[in-house]
Chains A and B, each alone.
Chain A
Amino acid sequence: MEEQDKILSEVTQSEYKYGFTTEIETDILEKGLNEDVIRLISAKKEEPEFMLNFRLDAYRKWLKMKMPNWAYLNIPAIDYQEISYYAAPKQQAKYSSLDEVDPELLDTFNKLGIPLDEQKQLAGVAVDAVIDSVSVKTTFKETLAEKGIIFCSFSEAVKEHPELVKKYLGQAVPVADNYFAALNSAVFSDGSFCYIPKGVRCPMELSTYFRINAANTGQFERTLIVADDDSYVSYLEGCTAPMRDENQLHAAVVEIIALDRAEVKYSTVQNWYPGDKNGKGGIYNFVTKRGICRGVSSKISWTQVETGSAITWKYPSCILMGDNSVGEFNSVAVTNNHQQADTGSKMIHIGKNTKSTIVSKGISAGKSDNSYRGLVKILPKATNSRNFSQCDSLLLNDTCGAHTFPYIEVQNKSSVVEHEATTSKIGEDQIFYCNQRGIDTETAIGMIVNGYAKEVLNKLPMEFAVEAQKLLQISLEGSVG
């Protein structure tokens, strides 16, 4: 009995388990933002001229923009001069083997359970780890290179494949697309770049792991994925941050470009530090993610499990330009305590016979607010297009909120758009049924929530699905009552 109590209290009190900080010597830039800072970042990264111009262009446009306030979020004022825009683990000369990597750093990734070690072939995932905005280590590079796949840090790509970067950067997310994208374009320090050549099916899952470590810094990484004709890639993204009392800003941009008949699958398990029980601290996660199905019959699918962040502002979108292209969005968003999330998807149908599906499952607990906001737009020439959207919300108590804001715009007659949304709580009869069979209420809720989210979790790659399920349970612990 005592044992059981111990387990129970351990389980219900386990909060954010990735909240440690690592003592790594870090190269941090002075707080503040101006053109000199941008020039300095660009110089530190030894970037070519076009990148600097790209950054400055973005910065000048950003200065003229205002922070968006249409989301159903309560965002405290952010002082952009109080943030350091560049933080990198020191002595970051190229690592050619693991032995050269700072052991503290390796330890960090071991704690996070990320297989950086190339020996861990079994895991079968190629990882690009980004800590405080700088890519630390990319694994399996050689294996991938044999197939012609480029998978490296963004700064490496700028140096080694400038023609590809120049051609595709900013295509899906133009510099002045929105406030946070413009900020990212101006100051982004690193990220991942991935290019899959014609006809290649990427043999393993590619993965980026993001970690904010230093205090008072923002993380601004940029991911660019280009899938050439007839290629396929599945990409994973995970993130954690230490527990700190002040809020930290994360404004990332992810761009995906799918050419003829290419398929890109992008999965995210977002687990930034959500702040403590009283809503203190946590990451502001303001992310722009967009994919363009440029080619005919191309496909982009977004799958996300959002459990972390104090405030989430994120709308992974698909622009379906090529005829017969397909866009998918599957999301589970969990908010607890004082978290706020305004997330959803945009599907812009431009090509003929384009199809899109949106499945969004929101789960709110504590005093949180969880909103779905989405746009389905069918342009006049997108004949015979099809969209189906389903947004379900689950409320776990009477102090949280669940909101739905879909926008549907149809401009031709042959397209069919359907949208459904429901909001409800877990039925007392369902809980009773479980209790009757000897399952306690907490476990029962966990089971029901997992069942509710199953439709989306099933879309995740296997290793991620297991992690996501655990994450769901942790996020909801202590929310029953």
Chain B
Amino acid sequence: MSVVTDQVDLSLKYTAHYNEVKNALFEDSAEVLNAQRKKAFQDFVKQGIPTRKDENYKYTNLQPSFATDFEFVHEKTVLATANEEVFKCDVPNLNTNLALIQNGWFRKDGKGDLPAGVIFDSLEKIANEKPELLAAYGSIANTEEDPMVALNTAFAKDGFFLYVPKGVIVESPIQIINILKNDVDTYATQRNYIYVEAGAKAQVLWCDHTLNSNQYLSNSVTEIFVGDNAEMEFYTVQNQHNKATNLNSVFVKQGRDSRATTHTTTLHGGMIRNNLKFMLDGENAEAHMYGMAFMDRKQHVDNFTQVIHAVPHCESNQLYKNVLDEQSSGAFSGRIHVVRDAQKTNAFQRNNNLLLTDEATMQTKPQLIIDADDVKCSHGATIGQIDEEALFYLRARGIDEDKARLMMMNAFTHEVVNEIKIEALRDRIDDLVDKRLSGDLARCHECDYQCECD
């Protein structure tokens, strides 16, 4: 990942490719998706691939990730994926409605028990058959603000679509297994939509995996609309190999009295950028953002969050923790924006980081932009190491140093693990975190093919 590429404008490759496949793109996709395509592409050309000079990408250099000659997957191709590979993502004792996304293309195997009225299908299909559903909500993913969102919108053809009608409660979680597996180095695009109507409730679990050692760049955008008094929980587990780049943008818009939670567990991955933007658009809405990352080698994780308090009486809460080992690097950038007259806002943000080696680095940029006065807002950030005194306390009680360290790290991240509301998932993540910290998960989780993950 140390290719010097500053001299070349890498976006040219993408521009050329767009022009090449433009006609096919427009012909193959539904009108509702094409509507944004042209403007999105222009926005991408305007902004280019971000460099570290861009304030929003100050701590994440995407240039090396884009240097590879990727193949684009514009057609749905079903590569054989053995069932046992999918089963690795299975959460024991959890009955889920399962779907598979491969290289950005949706595939559903029929398992599940969704209540009547709930639509869980491929975006391509919905865009063709029920475009009015998509048009009704519009888009909150602004292509002018982030070139990666623009690039996604320009190429987006498929992804998953979830619609939960008014008042419907989906009991068992919906699980999307997002796998990258192709014979060549691949650039994958996916666009996802989740609509949770008023008073409805849903839980979504999204697992990212790479299934072979080719290089991947996955650029996904997920838009989530949470209606009045609705409840939405969105869990992400990221577990990819060291040559994979994961650009993951999630946009959430909340109505009155709604509750939304996002929870991201980053176990493994070469370069991970999680964009998260919350629009609190109805009074008394509540938003929770949790994230934890465990990085080693030369891995990089960047959590970039924005919360916009557009109306009074809302509450937001962010908690992000990173454990950084070896030469890994982490970044956190959180922005709370309280718009004028959004009074009685409570907004909190915390970012704690543990550096395990002298080569590991952490950069954090918590920000508050407050234009209303009757608010309670705070942010806190710490970067440090394991408390020597606590370590001593444990060692004095006969616990050896390695074990004691592990206990401390576990305790450090447990605060985030605990926020998972699905019990079976919590146990599973707890177990995975345990393995990750003790080094059993140094390679991709339960990986039986030996990719050169360096």
Residues of A within 8 A of B (CB): 70, 72, 380, 383, 393, 395-425
Is B368 a contact of A401 with CB atoms below 8 Å?
no
Residues in A with CB closer than 8 Å to B384 are 415-418
Q: How far is the CA of A419 from the CA of B362 in the complex (A)?
A: 14
Assembly CA distance A265 to B367 (angstroms): 29
Which residue in B355, B367, B372, B376 is a CB contact (below 8 Å) of A403? B367
B377 lies within 8 A of chain A by Cβ: yes
Q: Which 4 A-B pairs have the closest CB atoms?
A: A395-B373, A413-B355, A404-B368, A416-B384
Interface string of B17-44 (1 = CB under 8 A from A): 0000000000000000000000000000
Who on chain B is nearest to A375 by CB?
B365
Q: Given contacts A412-B355, A413-B358, A415-B383, could you give 12 more A-B pairs where the C-beta distance is less than 8 Å?
A: A398-B374, A402-B368, A404-B368, A408-B381, A410-B363, A413-B355, A417-B384, A419-B364, A419-B366, A421-B366, A421-B380, A425-B373
A410 close to B373 (CB less than 8 A) = no
Inter-chain contacts of A395 with B (CB < 8 A):
370, 372-373, 375
Residues of A within 8 A of B375 (CB): 395, 423-425
Contact assessment for B371 and A401 in the assembled complex, using a CB-CB cutoff below 8 Å: yes
The answer for the CA separation of A399 and B341 in the assembled complex, in Å, is 8
Do the beta carbons of A406 and B365 come within 8 Å of each other?
yes
- B360 & A404 in contact (Cβ 8 Å cutoff): no
Q: Identify the interface centre among B368, B381, B384: most chain A CB within 10 Å of its CB.
A: B368
Contact, CB under 8 Å: B360 / A413: yes
* Cβ–Cβ contact A425 & B374, under 8 A: yes
Q: How far is the CA of A395 from the CA of B338 in the complex (A)?
A: 13
Interface residue B406 (Cβ < 8 Å from any Cβ of A): no
Which positions 182-205 of chain B face chain A at CB distance < 8 Å? none
Of all chain A residues, the one with the shortest Cβ separation from B338 is A423
Q: Does B356 contact A (CB under 8 A)?
A: yes
A422–B367 touching, CB < 8 Å: no
Report which of B341, B358, B367, B382 forms a contact with A412, defined as CB distance below 8 A.
B358
Contact between chains at B383 and A416 (CB < 8 Å): yes
**A413 to chain B: closest residue by CB:** B355
Closest chain-A Cβ to B117's Cβ sits at a distance in Å of 43
Q: Which residue of the partner chain B has the closest CB to A396?
A: B373
Q: A412: which B residues are within 8 A, CB to CB?
A: 355, 358
Q: A396-B373, A409-B361 are in contact. Are A416 and B378 (CB under 8 A)?
A: no
Residue of B341, B369, B376 with most chain A CB atoms under a 10 A cut-off: B369
Are A414 and B385 in contact, with the CB atoms below 8 A? yes
A423 touches B358 (CB 8 A): no
Contact B368 A421 (CB under 8 A): yes
* B377 touching A411, Cβ below 8 Å: no
CA distance A410 to B352 in the complex (A): 12
B373 contacts A407, CB within 8 Å? no
Q: Give chain A nearest CB distance to B436 CB in angstroms.
A: 19
Other-chain residue from A408, A417, A423 in contact with B378 (beta carbon distance below 8 A): A423
Residues from chain B with Cβ under 8 Å of A425 in the complex: 373-375
Q: Does B55 make an interface contact (CB < 8 A)?
A: yes
Cross-chain contact B377 with A405 (CB below 8 angstroms): no
* Bound-complex Cα distance A418 to B367 (A): 15
Q: Is B298 an interface residue (CB 8 A)?
A: no
CB of B366 within 8 A of CB of A406, answer yes
B215 touches A (CB below 8 Å) = no
- Residues A403 and B370 in contact in the complex (CB < 8 Å), given A70-B55, A413-B360, A418-B382: yes
A424 touches B372 (CB 8 A): no
Q: How far, in Å, is B32 (CB) from chain A's closest CB?
A: 38
The 24 sampled A-B contact pairs (Cβ below 8 Å) are A380-B359, A395-B370, A396-B373, A398-B373, A401-B369, A404-B368, A405-B367, A408-B362, A408-B363, A408-B365, A409-B362, A409-B364, A413-B355, A413-B360, A415-B383, A416-B383, A419-B381, A421-B379, A421-B380, A423-B370, A423-B378, A424-B375, A425-B373, A425-B375
As a 0/1 sequence over residues 336 to 357 of chain B, the CB contacts with chain A under 8 angstroms (1 = contact) are 0000110100000000010111
- Specify which of B362, B377, B385 is in contact with A423 (CB 8 Å cutoff): B377
Q: Mark B369-406, 1 if CB is under 8 A from A, else 0.
A: 11111111111111111000000000000000000000
Q: Which chain B residues border A415 with CB–CB below 8 Å? A: 383-384
Task: Please measure, in the bound complex, the distance between the C-alpha atom of A420 and the C-alpha atom of B368, giving whole angstroms.
Answer: 11
Q: Across the two chains, which residue of chain B brings its CB closest to A400?
A: B373
Main secondary structure of the interface of B (DSSP, over half): strand
For the complex, what is the distance from the CA of A395 to the CA of B384, rounded to whole Å? 32
For B383, the chain A residues whose CB sits under 8 A away are: 408, 410, 415-417
A-chain residues with CB within 8 Å of residue B358 when the two chains form the complex: 380, 383, 411-414
With CB as the reference atom, state the residue of chain B lying closest to A419.
B381
Given A380-B358, A408-B383, A416-B385, verify A397-B370 contact (CB < 8 Å): no
In the assembly, what is the distance between CA of A396 and CA of B375, in Å?
11
Contacts of A397 in B (CB 8 A): 373
Identify which of residues 312-345 in chain B touch chain A, using a CB-to-CB cut-off of 8 Å: 340-341, 343
Distance in angstroms from A361 CB to nearest chain B CB is 14
Q: Report chain B residues within 8 Å CB of A411.
A: 358, 361
Chain B min CB distance to A210 (Å): 32
Q: Which of chain A's residues have a CB closer than 8 A to the CB of B379?
A: 404, 419-421
Q: Are A418 and B381 touching (Cβ within 8 A)? A: yes
- Cβ-defined contact, A424 with B382, below 8 A: no
Kindly list chain B residues whose C-beta atoms are within 8 Å of the C-beta of A400: 371, 373
Flag if B380 contacts A399 (CB, 8 Å): no
A424 to B356, CA, bound (A): 35
- B365's nearest neighbour on chain A, judged by CB, is A407
CB distance from B50 to the nearest CB of A (A): 16
Asked whether, in the complex, the Cβ of B378 is within 8 Å of the Cβ of A401, the reply is no
A72 cross-chain contacts in B, Cβ below 8 A: 369
How many angstroms from the CA of A409 to the CA of B367 in the assembled complex? 14
In the complex, which of the residues A396, A399, A417, A423 contacts B368, with contact meaning CB atoms closer than 8 Å? A423
Q: B376 contacts which chain A residues (CB < 8 A)?
A: 422-424
A187 → chain B, closest Cβ, in Å? 29
Please, which residue of chain B has its CB at the minimum distance from the CB of A408?
B364
Q: How far is the CA of A416 from the CA of B387 in the complex (A)?
A: 10
Highest count of chain B CB atoms <10 Å: which of A397, A409, A414: A409
Question: Measured between alpha carbons, how far is A422 from B376 in the docked complex, in Å?
Answer: 7
Contacts of B355 in A (CB 8 A): 410, 412-413
A425 to B376, CA, bound (A): 8
A418 to B369, CA, bound (A): 20
Which residues does chain B contribute within 8 Å of A417, judged by CB atoms?
381-384
Asked if A421 meets B378 with Cβ closer than 8 Å, knowing A396-B373, A403-B370, the reply is yes
Residue of B with least CB distance to A414: B385
Among A399, A403, A423, chain B packs the most CB atoms within 10 A around the CB of A423
Q: B367 to A404, Cβ gap below 8 A? A: yes
Contact B363 A402 (CB under 8 A): no
Please state if B368 and A403 are interface contacts (CB–CB under 8 Å).
yes
Inside 8 A of B340's CB, which chain A residues have their CB? 398-399, 401
Taking CB atoms, residues of chain A closer than 8 Å to B362 are 408-410
Query: In whole angstroms, what is the CA distance A192 to B343 when docked?
Result: 47
Contact assessment for B370 and A401 in the assembled complex, using a CB-CB cutoff below 8 Å: yes
Q: How far is the CB of B349 from chain A (nearest CB, A)?
A: 9
Give the CA-CA distance A424 to B370 in the complex, in Å.
Answer: 9
In the complex, chain A residues whose CB is within 8 Å of the CB of B359? 380
* CA of A415 to CA of B55, assembled, Å: 26
B372 cross-chain contacts in A, Cβ below 8 A? 395, 398
Measured CA separation A72–B369 after assembly (Å): 10
Smallest Cβ-Cβ distance to B373: which chain A residue: A395
A428 to B254, CA, bound (A): 30
Q: How far is the CB of A334 from chain B (nearest CB, A)?
A: 15
Shortest A403–chain B CB gap in Å is 5
Q: Distance (Å) between the CB of A435 and the closest chain B CB?
A: 18
A383 to B357, CA, bound (A): 12
User: Do B361 and A410 have beta carbons less than 8 Å apart?
Assistant: yes
How many angstroms from the CA of A406 to the CA of B356 in the assembled complex? 23
A409 to B340 CA separation, bound complex (whole angstroms): 31
* Chain B residues with CB under 8 A of A396: 373
Smallest CB gap from A380: residue in B: B358
A405 to B369, CA, bound (A): 8
